């Protein structure tokens, strides 16, 4: 290397070092900071990774995809990590960024990591939804999941005309309660938390609950048409919900969702997608069909809808579940219902890849607490107290509200956007566990090889040829549902073009080889006077394997 | 221009006429104008052939140049292969902005081989503009309505159909490449036009053990042998070669996806709906057109042209209750559809999923499901067109005998390539022959104009019946205490409501509003909707009484709003609707 090149490289290295200083690692970054970091990291490790810009959002932010190949740039099975789907949750973005940083800094001196990347590729889209996550840093801060598309939520012909208002000027959109006989909320007997009225507290003070705000457009409703937008994790075609205004006009209507969909469909080598959402199918697996794949798919075609994982794929998922439970021990938190039109289910049901999804972080429940209840707000309140974050609850304070001159209006309650994101001081263990999980997932990917080519001479120049292909990885080469979708590629085994074929065709196609050593055979009857022939295995997932055999 | 001949003669005072000009004028003067097309249109179009996409663009631009007060031409986007997607907006621009009037959307040719939809669409644009000046019914229609006409929404494959070797049924798909057989190669084994005549016909091979023979009654028509007969031929499918040596012929040609199974609302993936492609509107042309439709909130009616079979289809294409049409909307569909049976002899008004087949992700459902737009798909060209009798056969494209007979008696054998010998690289000596691509699903030259006109007439009937709302009555009455009661009755003078029941139920669109304004907003005390004026049954509008939300004004029905206001002030009421013309009245 000449001196001319050494200086810029040294600068990049120093910049990266400063960017990755320990103090900077464990906190939340803006999308501009993360975009810059991705560029710096991929530049400094450009022999093992690179990035592409999938699209630009309406506000001009870039959605970046990083391809980490290691030194082996050939086609290999891959996994994809997607962060930031749930707009108000940034922990997953930082998990993705951490994996990127970790690989960049550890690749050269961690043989198990460089070895792993010899057989697989890791794609990372750290933030699939940068317009939404940018609102994390807004002032006032509100709890917002959606991107910036103007939406007419209340169908009055105007968009985004009645959003939240920071009435107390503290930079936070907190809760607002209004004393009202017709209200359905009350204060819990033991905790300063608002709970729905039940028969037991029928005679207590009643409130209506809102977020902080005015009736900006004078239509008699509060905050009925807030700014934005579409919730990306509702904008995918599996069980898309047309009646939900936050789902978008139609599935994959958004630049963000289209970029994700096009990326996955154009990368058949991605066999597994790890995304972060409210759902956790490694802790609570999705329901599985009782029948084997082909029979279940017949049923699906008659009913016109698929609602269960195919039995074969559900069995495969168990292997992933085991790995997860080993790494993430004693997970005890409130599990939430998944959205219709979510990304993770769509990945499995409509792109035919394995899909795993977990929440990046949730506040944990105390196993020792005998007074545990089902009310999430109360448990969250207790967690805040327990974990030293009691400052995240605002004491109720009375205000004069012009829309309710004759009523008692108070602002207070939980501060926005804290419940969805891990406190910065707990990011480190979350990162470490996710590094382990991603490694384990990669280790399970299928590995195919030509196990043997057996030839038998039947007569001068007439040979019977068997090729045996084995999958030495734990996972099958494709999902069972993939066999019913056009988008999951087959493995093509090409006969030597210089022979005459009596039986068999120029090439044969295999649609799926099960994991843990299943072997499939393809046979030909050929005529040739050559001493040896070459067979080629070609797959958009596994690349090319060529083998010559002497006849 | 009242009298074009006189105009030309005046022009002649300054510009010398050539001999042929004079001849033309004389001819037109002496010819008796038939009902329908004008004798001397500003834009000359021959309605007896099928145009390619560039020619469609040229005709659109000519119409727009000849009638700038009635037409706006736009390219709404470029196809996968960078062809223009043409659109014409047609209305009487002098009477209001196009986006303020209820819109009738018309397109053709989503299936590329179903070519004649583009001609029907173009003919509609041409006929409306050429006849505007003289026909009062058309003037009234264009004063009240806007037409959005997209002749071909699959231009790449339309041109492929015209200029490359195809059957009457191909390509159907657009030209975005897809790996149909999952072998990792794309479009590697399509048809091969063995004789280079532009038509992909059938292949047969002489075979003493074959199970097919030629019909004894109709020359050239192949029929299967009966159980106790022996045959002479084996049929080998469409003209083609096994290009990739996989033992199959023509298994991966242009496309393949079905552009009309790729639309949101009832979309389902490939394992349920063949041709659905990767996700809703994954196909570039469809996304451009869908976004165009969604951005025109005034579109209230829609018509797509396909071929063939003589059908006036409405959705749903799905039998699932999740995608059923609203009970109350069906009567409007029936009214339009059944009138269509009269306008279009040999066509049947049908419901897609139960009368034809189940198909999800169709464009026809997109209109209704996304925006509550009343929409039809016409399947142009019917077996009725051969000899005035509709085929009862279960064969999808009708019985073959009349096709051969028509070919013999009216086309003088032009529609069929007679069997001829050819050397095939894999089969050896074979014969090829059969229907030309432009026969069996498309009208022959002398029937195109009638097909265009009758289908247009059906669409104009639909457009005519889109809402026209008027103030029926506006009254003020003193009710004492310094107050007055204002009653406003709105009437829809057409059959189709301002919003369908479906869009109301699913809250798809912005409702209609009736607003009152005065100098001081405190002048308006209260508002109510009167839903039975005889029994004085009313519903008070508590929130925002100055802006009353109206779900719809039903077909040939009224809607009454009452306000209590301060006496003696000046008030203005304003009606706004996405699918009807806005109105304003001072009081």
Work out the percent of chain B whose per-residue pLDDT is above 90.
91
Question: Which tokens is B35 given?
Answer: 């009902």
Q: In the predicted model, is pLDDT for residue B3 greater than 90?
A: no
In what side-by-side order are the strands of the sheet with B469-480? Answer: B469-480, B483-492, B558-566, B524-532, B537-540
The sign of the torsion formed by the CA atoms of B230, B233, B237, B243 equals positive
Check if B186 contacts A (Cβ < 8 Å).
Answer: no
CATH number at residue A513: 2.60.40.10
pLDDT band at A306 (very low <50, low <70, confident <90, very high): confident
pLDDT of residue B23: 61
Check if B270 contacts A (Cβ < 8 Å).
Answer: yes
Residue B97 and residue B296 in contact, taking contact as beta carbons nearer than 8 Å = no
The C-alpha atoms of residue B249 and residue B338 are separated, in whole angstroms, by 44
Residues of A in contact with B267 (CB under 8 A): 237, 251
Q: In the predicted model, is pLDDT for residue B25 greater than 90?
A: no
- Asked whether residue A43 is assigned to any structural domain, the reply reads yes
Helix H or strand E segment including B553: none
Q: Helix or strand or coil: residue A444?
A: helix
The C-alpha atoms of residue B115 and residue B380 are separated, in whole angstroms, by 10
Beta strands in A144-299 (DSSP E): 175-179, 185-187, 194-196, 207-211, 270-276
Task: Please tell me whether residues A101 and A241 are part of one structural domain.
Answer: yes
Window B:81-100, CB contacts with A under 8 Å: none
Q: Helix or strand or coil: residue A226?
A: coil
Beta strands in A168-320 (DSSP E): 175-179, 185-187, 194-196, 207-211, 270-276
User: Which of A236, A252, A506 comes nearest B245 by C-beta?
Assistant: A506
Residues of B in contact with A301 (CB under 8 A): 271-272
Q: Which residue has the tokens 């949101």?
A: B264
Q: In the predicted model, is pLDDT for residue B161 greater than 60?
A: yes
Check if A497 contacts B (Cβ < 8 Å).
Answer: no
Check if A68 contacts B (Cβ < 8 Å).
Answer: no
pLDDT band at B17 (very low <50, low <70, confident <90, very high): low
CB contact under 8 A, A220 and B542: yes
> Rounded to the nearest 10 degrees, what angle do helices B116-131 and B445-464 cross at?
60
Residue with the bigger pLDDT between B398 and B209: it is B209
Task: Please tell me whether residues A408 and A476 are part of one structural domain.
Answer: no
Please give the average per-residue pLDDT across B505-520, as a whole number. Answer: 96
From B171's Cα to the closest Cα of chain A, the distance in A is 19
Work out the percent of chain A whose per-residue pLDDT is above 70.
95
Task: Please tell me whether residues A436 and A394 are part of one structural domain.
Answer: no
Closest CA to B337 of B378, B296, B385: B378
Closest CA to A43 of A85, A12, A74: A12
pLDDT band at A22 (very low <50, low <70, confident <90, very high): low
Window A:290-319, CB contacts with B under 8 Å: 297, 300-301, 304-306
From A69's Cα to the closest Cα of chain B, the distance in A is 22
- Asked whether residue A529 is assigned to any structural domain, the reply reads yes
Question: Which tokens is A20 given?
Answer: 């990755």
Least confident of A90-94, A125-129, A188-192, B535-539: A188-192
First-last CA distance in chain A? 48
Question: Which tokens is A480 given?
Answer: 């069972």
pLDDT of residue A298: 87
Q: Residue A402's domain spans which residues?
A: 152-225+366-418
Q: State the DSSP code for A249.
A: S
Closest CA to A236 of A272, A265, A268: A265
B299-310 residue pLDDT tens? 999 999 999 999
Bridge partners (DSSP) listed for residue B107? B150, B304
CATH number at residue A48: 3.40.630.10
Side-chain-facing half-sphere of A11: CA atoms under 13 Å = 5
The sign of the torsion formed by the CA atoms of B49, B52, B53, B55 equals negative
Instruction: Write out the DSSP string of B455-504.
Output: HHHHHHHHHHTS--EEEEEEEEEEEETTEEEEEEEEEE-SSS-SS-HHHH
Q: Which site among A153, A162, A225, A250 would you substitute to test the B interface, given the most B Cβ atoms closer than 10 Å to its Cβ?
A: A250
Residue A283 and residue A326 in contact, taking contact as beta carbons nearer than 8 Å = no
pLDDT band at B11 (very low <50, low <70, confident <90, very high): very low
From A505's Cα to the closest Cα of chain B, the distance in A is 6
The C-alpha atoms of residue A493 and residue A507 are separated, in whole angstroms, by 5
Closest CA to A326 of A426, A427, A444: A444
Task: Please tell me whether residues A458 and A345 are part of one structural domain.
Answer: no
Average pLDDT score, chain B = 94
pLDDT of residue A2: 45
Residue B314 and residue B375 in contact, taking contact as beta carbons nearer than 8 Å = yes
Bridge partners (DSSP) listed for residue A62? A56
Instruction: Write out the DSSP string of A66-78.
Output: EEE-TT--S---E
CB contact under 8 A, B179 and A506: no
The C-alpha atoms of residue A125 and residue B526 are separated, in whole angstroms, by 55
From B212's Cα to the closest Cα of chain A, the distance in A is 28
CB contact under 8 A, B246 and A505: yes
The C-alpha atoms of residue A140 and residue A167 are separated, in whole angstroms, by 10
Q: In the predicted model, is pLDDT for residue A299 greater than 90?
A: no
The C-alpha atoms of residue A300 and residue A543 are separated, in whole angstroms, by 33
B236-251 residue pLDDT tens? 999 999 999 999 999 9
Task: Please tell me whether residues A12 and A121 are part of one structural domain.
Answer: yes
- Would you give the distance in Å from CA B561 to the centre of its chain? 37
CB contact under 8 A, B319 and A304: yes
Helix H or strand E segment including B362: none
First-last CA distance in chain B? 39
The C-alpha atoms of residue A318 and residue B368 are separated, in whole angstroms, by 43
Cβ neighbourhood burial of B94 (10 Å; 0-12, 13-18, 19+): exposed
Please give the average per-residue pLDDT across B96-122, as a whole number. Answer: 98
The C-alpha atoms of residue B349 and residue B332 are separated, in whole angstroms, by 13
Beta strands in B159-280 (DSSP E): 202-206, 212-214, 222-224, 233-238
Task: Please tell me whether residues A77 and A99 are part of one structural domain.
Answer: yes
Task: Please tell me whether residues A523 and A534 are part of one structural domain.
Answer: yes
A492's CB contacts (< 8 A; 6+ apart) are A507, A508, A509, A537, A538, A539, B183, B184
Q: In the predicted model, is pLDDT for residue B467 greater than 80?
A: yes
- CB count in 10 Å sphere of residue A77: 24
Task: Please tell me whether residues A31 and A64 are part of one structural domain.
Answer: yes
Q: Helix or strand or coil: residue B120?
A: helix
From A378's Cα to the closest Cα of chain B, the distance in A is 35
- Asked whether residue A168 is assigned to any structural domain, the reply reads yes
Bridge partners (DSSP) listed for residue B471? B490
CB contact under 8 A, A305 and B272: yes
Q: In the predicted model, is pLDDT for residue B27 greater than 80?
A: no
Q: Helix or strand or coil: residue B175?
A: coil
Closest CA to B88 of B46, B43, B49: B43
Residue B145 and residue B91 in contact, taking contact as beta carbons nearer than 8 Å = yes
Task: Please tell me whether residues A129 and A259 are part of one structural domain.
Answer: yes
The C-alpha atoms of residue A420 and residue A87 are separated, in whole angstroms, by 10
The C-alpha atoms of residue B303 and residue B305 are separated, in whole angstroms, by 7
Residue with the bigger pLDDT between A181 and A204: it is A181
CB contact under 8 A, B280 and A155: no
Of the three residues A409, A444, A479, the one that is the final residue of a domain is A444
Window A:466-495, CB contacts with B under 8 Å: 484-487, 489-490, 492
B264-319 residue pLDDT tens? 999 999 999 999 999 999 999 999 999 999 999 999 999 999 999 999 999 999 99
Helix ranges restricted to H, B132-258: 136-144, 155-163
- Asked whether residue A190 is assigned to any structural domain, the reply reads yes
pLDDT band at B75 (very low <50, low <70, confident <90, very high): very high
- Asked whether residue A316 is assigned to any structural domain, the reply reads no
Q: In the predicted model, is pLDDT for residue B394 greater than 70?
A: no
Q: In the predicted model, is pLDDT for residue A1 greater than 70?
A: no
Q: Which site among A149, A159, A234, A237 would you substitute to test the B interface, given the most B Cβ atoms closer than 10 Å to its Cβ?
A: A237
**Ordered structural domains, chain B, with CATH:** 1-31 (no CATH), 32-160+259-381+443-464 (3.40.630.10), 179-254+397-440 (no CATH), 469-586 (2.60.40.10)
- Would you give the distance in Å from CA B209 to the centre of its chain? 48
From B24's Cα to the closest Cα of chain A, the distance in A is 55
Residue A407 and residue A392 in contact, taking contact as beta carbons nearer than 8 Å = no
Residues of B in contact with A487 (CB under 8 A): 278
- CB count in 10 Å sphere of residue B136: 8
CB contact under 8 A, A243 and B267: no
Check if B328 contacts A (Cβ < 8 Å).
Answer: no
CB contact under 8 A, A220 and B320: no
B372's CB contacts (< 8 A; 6+ apart) are B329, B499, B500, B501, B502, B503, B504, B506, B508, B509
Check if A277 contacts B (Cβ < 8 Å).
Answer: no
In what side-by-side order are the strands of the sheet with A62-68? Answer: A49-56, A62-68, A121-125, A78-82, A270-276, A354-358
Task: Please tell me whether residues A350 and A429 are part of one structural domain.
Answer: yes
Check if A425 contacts B (Cβ < 8 Å).
Answer: no
pLDDT of residue A131: 96
The C-alpha atoms of residue B133 and residue B125 are separated, in whole angstroms, by 14
Please report the number of interchain residue pairs, chain A to chain B, with beta-carbon separation below 8 angstroms: 108
Residue with the bigger pLDDT between A300 and A427: it is A427
- Asked whether residue A293 is assigned to any structural domain, the reply reads no
Torsion angle of C-alpha atoms B294, B296, B299, B305, degrees rounded to 10: -70
CB contact under 8 A, A489 and B264: no
Residue B145 and residue B139 in contact, taking contact as beta carbons nearer than 8 Å = no
The C-alpha atoms of residue B330 and residue B441 are separated, in whole angstroms, by 30
B114's CB contacts (< 8 A; 6+ apart) are B108, B172, B305, B306, B307, B308, B380, B441
Task: Please tell me whether residues A427 and A495 are part of one structural domain.
Answer: no
- Would you give the distance in Å from CA A155 to the centre of its chain? 32
Task: Please tell me whether residues A431 and A411 are part of one structural domain.
Answer: no
Q: Helix or strand or coil: residue A419?
A: coil
Domain count, chain A: 3
pLDDT band at A67 (very low <50, low <70, confident <90, very high): very high
B539-564 residue pLDDT tens? 999 999 999 999 999 999 999 999 99
Q: In the predicted model, is pLDDT for residue A16 greater than 70?
A: no
- Asked whether residue A311 is assigned to any structural domain, the reply reads no
Window B:17-76, CB contacts with A under 8 Å: none
Q: Helix or strand or coil: residue A418?
A: coil
- Asked whether residue A336 is assigned to any structural domain, the reply reads yes
Please give the average per-residue pLDDT across A240-263, as a whole number. Answer: 96
């Amino acid at each position: 290397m000449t001196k001319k090149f050494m200086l810029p490289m040294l600068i990049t290295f120093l910049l990266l070092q400063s960017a990755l200083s320990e103090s900077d690692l464990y906190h939340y970054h803006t999308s501009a900071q993360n975009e810059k970091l991705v560029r710096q990291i991929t530049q400094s490790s450009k022999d093992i990774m690179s990035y592409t810009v999938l699209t630009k959002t309406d506000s001009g932010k870039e959605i970046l995809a990083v391809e980490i190949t290691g030194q082996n740039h050939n086609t290999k099975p891959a996994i994809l990590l997607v962060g930031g789907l749930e707009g108000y949750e940034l922990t997953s973005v930082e998990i993705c960024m951490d994996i990127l940083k970790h690989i960049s800094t550890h690749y050269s001196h961690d043989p198990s990591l460089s070895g792993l990347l010899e057989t697989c590729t890791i794609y990372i889209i750290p933030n699939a939804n940068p317009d939404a996550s940018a609102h994390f840093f807004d002032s006032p801060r509100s709890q917002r999941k959606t991107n910036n598309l103007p939406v007419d939520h209340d169908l009055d012909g105007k968009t985004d005309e009645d959003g939240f208002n920071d009435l107390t000027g503290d930079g936070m959109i907190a809760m607002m309660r209004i004393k009202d006989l017709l209200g359905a909320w009350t204060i819990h007997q033991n905790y300063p938390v608002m709970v729905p009225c039940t028969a037991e507290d029928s005679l207590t003070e009643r409130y209506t609950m809102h977020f902080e705000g005015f009736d900006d457009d004078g239509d008699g409703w509060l905050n009925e048409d807030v700014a934005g937008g579409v919730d990306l994790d509702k904008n995918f075609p599996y069980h898309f919900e047309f009646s939900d205004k936050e789902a978008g006009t139609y599935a994959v209507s958004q630049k963000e969702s289209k970029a994700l969909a096009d990326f996955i469909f154009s990368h058949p080598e991605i066999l597994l997608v790890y995304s972060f959402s409210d759902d956790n199918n490694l802790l609570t697996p999705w329901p599985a069909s009782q029948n084997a794949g082909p029979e279940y798919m017949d049923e699906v075609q008659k009913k016109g809808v698929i609602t269960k994982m195919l039995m074969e794929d559900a069995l495969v998922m168990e292997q992933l579940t085991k790995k997860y439970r080993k790494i993430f021990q004693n997970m005890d938190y409130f599990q939430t219902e998944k959205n219709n039109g979510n990304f993770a289910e769509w990945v499995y049901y409509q792109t035919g890849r394995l899909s795993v999804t977990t929440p990046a972080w949730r506040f944990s429940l105390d196993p020792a607490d005998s007074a545990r209840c089902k009310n999430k707000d109360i448990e969250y309140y207790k967690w805040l107290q327990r974990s030293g974050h009691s400052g995240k609850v605002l004491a109720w304070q009375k205000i004069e509200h012009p829309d309710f001159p004759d009523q008692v209006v108070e602002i207070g309650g939980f501060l926005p956007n804290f419940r969805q994101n891990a406190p910065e001081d707990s990011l480190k263990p979350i990162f470490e566990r996710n590094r382990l999980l991603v490694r384990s997932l990669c280790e399970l990917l299928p590995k195919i090889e030509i196990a043997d080519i057996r030839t038998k001479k039947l007569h001068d120049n007439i040979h019977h040829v068997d090729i045996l292909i084995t999958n030495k990885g734990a996972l099958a080469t494709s999902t069972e549902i993939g066999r019913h979708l056009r988008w999951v590629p087959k493995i093509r085994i090409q006969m030597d073009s210089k022979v005459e074929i009596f039986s068999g065709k120029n090439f044969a196609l295999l649609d799926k080889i099960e994991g843990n050593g299943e072997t499939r055979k393809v046979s030909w009857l050929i005529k040739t006077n050559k001493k040896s022939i070459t067979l080629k295995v070609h797959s958009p997932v596994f690349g090319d394997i060529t083998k010559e055999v002497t006849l | 221009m009242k009298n074009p001949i006189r105009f030309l003669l005046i022009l002649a005072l300054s510009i010398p006429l050539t001999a042929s000009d004079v001849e033309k004028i004389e001819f037109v003067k002496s010819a008796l104008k038939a009902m329908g097309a004008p004798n001397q249109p500003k834009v000359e179009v021959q309605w007896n052939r099928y145009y390619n996409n560039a020619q469609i663009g040229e005709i659109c631009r000519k119409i727009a140049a000849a009638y700038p007060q009635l037409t706006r031409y736009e390219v709404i986007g470029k196809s996968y292969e960078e062809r223009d997607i043409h659109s014409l907006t047609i209305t009487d621009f002098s009477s209001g902005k196009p986006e303020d009037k209820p819109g009738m959307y018309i397109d053709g040719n989503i299936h590329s081989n179903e070519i004649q939809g583009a001609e029907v669409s173009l003919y509609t644009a041409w006929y409306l503009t050429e006849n505007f000046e003289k026909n009062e019914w058309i003037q009234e229609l264009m004063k009240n309505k806007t037409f959005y006409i997209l002749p071909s929404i699959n231009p790449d494959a339309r041109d492929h159909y015209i200029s490359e070797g195809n059957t009457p049924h191909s390509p159907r798909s657009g030209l975005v490449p897809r790996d149909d057989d999952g072998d990792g190669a794309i479009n590697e084994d399509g048809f091969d036009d063995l004789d280079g005549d532009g038509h992909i016909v059938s292949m047969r091979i002489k075979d003493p053990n074959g199970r097919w023979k030629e019909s004894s009654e109709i020359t050239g028509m192949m029929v299967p042998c009966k159980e106790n007969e022996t045959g002479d031929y084996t049929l080998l499918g469409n003209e083609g070669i096994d290009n990739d040596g996989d033992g199959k012929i023509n298994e991966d040609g242009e496309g393949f996806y079905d552009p009309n199974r790729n639309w949101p609302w009832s979309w389902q993936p490939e394992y349920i709906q063949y041709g659905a492609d990767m996700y809703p509107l994954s196909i570039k042309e469809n996304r451009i057109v869908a976004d165009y439709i969604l951005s025109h909130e005034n579109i209230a009616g829609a018509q797509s042209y396909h071929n063939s079979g003589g059908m006036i289809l409405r959705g749903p294409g799905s039998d699932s209750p999740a995608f059923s049409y609203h009970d109350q909307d069906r009567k409007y569909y029936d009214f339009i559809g059944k009138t269509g049976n009269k306008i279009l002899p040999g066509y049947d008004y049908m419901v897609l999923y139960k009368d034809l087949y189940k198909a999800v992700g169709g464009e026809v459902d997109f209109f209704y499901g996304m925006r509550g737009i009343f929409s039809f798909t016409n399947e142009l060209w019917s077996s009725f067109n051969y000899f005035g009798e509709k085929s009862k056969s279960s064969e999808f494209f009708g019985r073959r005998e009349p096709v051969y007979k028509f070919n013999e008696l009216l086309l003088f054998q032009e529609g069929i390539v007679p069997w001829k010998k050819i050397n095939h690289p894999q089969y050896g000596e074979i014969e090829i022959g059969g229907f030309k691509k432009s026969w069996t699903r498309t009208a022959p030259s002398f029937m195109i104009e009638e097909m265009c006109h009758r289908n247009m007439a059906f669409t104009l009937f639909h457009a005519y019946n889109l809402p026209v709302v008027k103030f029926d009555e506006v009254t003020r009455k003193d009710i004492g205490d310094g107050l007055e009661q204002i009653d406003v009755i709105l009437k829809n003078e057409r059959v189709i409501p301002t919003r369908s029941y479906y869009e109301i139920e699913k809250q798809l669109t912005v409702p209609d509003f009736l607003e009152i304004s005065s100098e001081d907003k405190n002048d308006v005390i209260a508002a109510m909707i009167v839903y039975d004026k005889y029994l004085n049954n009313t519903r008070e509008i508590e929130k925002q009484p100055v802006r009353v939300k109206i779900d719809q004004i039903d077909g040939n029905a009224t809607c009454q709003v009452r306000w209590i206001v301060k006496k003696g002030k000046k008030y203005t009421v304003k009606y706004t609707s996405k699918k009807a013309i806005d109105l304003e009245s001072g009081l």
